Amino acid sequence: MPNFAVNLSMLFTEVPLEERFAAAAEQGFNKVEIQFPYVLAATEIARLLKQHNQRIVLLNAPAGDAQKGDRGIACHPQRVAEFRQGVVQAIAYAKQLNCPNINILSGIAPVNCDINLIEKTLIDNLKFCAEEMAEVGIQLLVEAINTQDIPGFFVNNSQQAFALFEAVGHPNIKLQYDIYHMQIMEGNLIHTLRNNLDKIGHIQFADVPGRHEPQTGELNFGNIFQALDDMGYSGITSLEYNPSVSTTESLRWLKQIA
């Protein structure tokens, strides 16, 4: 059975973020992740984690202004200083919370910008991240996101991500493999996981279509989870879906699989 964590940015949203730790603990989760934890002070998050005997396993670096359409800025040539300031903030949070992983979102490719400059900017920024995070023992993760949900997202499939890793040339970089996004973009999930497990540092999942809980779409999660066990995957597999019902009701699949 996978080592499950729960994403508090997408599940238990019936209550404010500071109350989701308790809600997750009540359902048996002792590992959590938060996309953007910066709405709460790191000291408050640390207190909540200690109170509920939990640990945080992943957070995202700041990704720009979502209200203005930003979905990450790591590939934006004109926003390098802003991106790197965000990385420094993410590292400070991760250090204080003993969080082992920081996820980077490349963002939507800026319009009217040379593709080679976009790629070079992203590679240079990822080199910066890999080096800064390695110094403090934090794993750099990069996520590929499907272009149906976010048109124009620059890093959108696993092979592109692996090619970027080669260009970065630093050992402290791995893929945050999201089953939902990669089913949409490339399918062949188990084959990709099996053949690239050494390049994958974290897994998230939701069913397709809809990005809801397992058993609402086309994916056979029993097969996927069994395959991960058979591969010897020992990392985190995180629930990152939009519940189609209440969060508690949406967890019925977990009891059935367990």
Domain span at residue 82 reads 3-257
Contact 122, 165 (CB under 8 A): no
Q: Which of 143, 186, 218, 249 is catalytic?
A: 143
Contact 80, 121 (CB under 8 A): yes
Q: What is the CA radius of gyration of the chain?
A: 17
Whole-prediction pTM value? 0.97
Does the bond joining 2 to the residue before it have cis omega, within 30 degrees of 0? no
Q: How far, in Å, CA of 87 to CA of 94, rounded?
A: 10
Q: Which of 33, 119, 132, 240 is catalytic?
A: 240
Closest Cα to residue 101, out of 20, 2, 31?
31
Residue 202: half-sphere exposure toward Cβ, Cα within 13 Å: 29
Which token pair is 35? 């996309």
Catalytic site includes residue 213: no
Q: What is the pLDDT along the chain (258 residues), one digit of tens a residue?
A: 899 999 999 999 999 999 999 999 999 999 999 999 999 999 999 999 999 999 999 999 999 999 999 999 999 999 999 999 999 999 999 999 999 999 999 999 999 999 999 999 999 999 999 999 999 999 999 999 999 999 999 999 999 999 999 999 999 999 999 999 999 999 999 999 999 999 999 999 999 999 999 999 999 999 999 999 999 999 999 999 999 999 999 999 998 876
Total number of domains in the chain: 1
Q: Where are the alpha helices (DSSP H) in 52-200?
A: 80-97, 115-135, 158-168, 179-185, 189-195
Does the bond joining 151 to the residue before it have cis omega, within 30 degrees of 0? no
Q: The CATH number of the domain where 204 resides is what? A: 3.20.20.150
Catalytic site includes residue 14: no
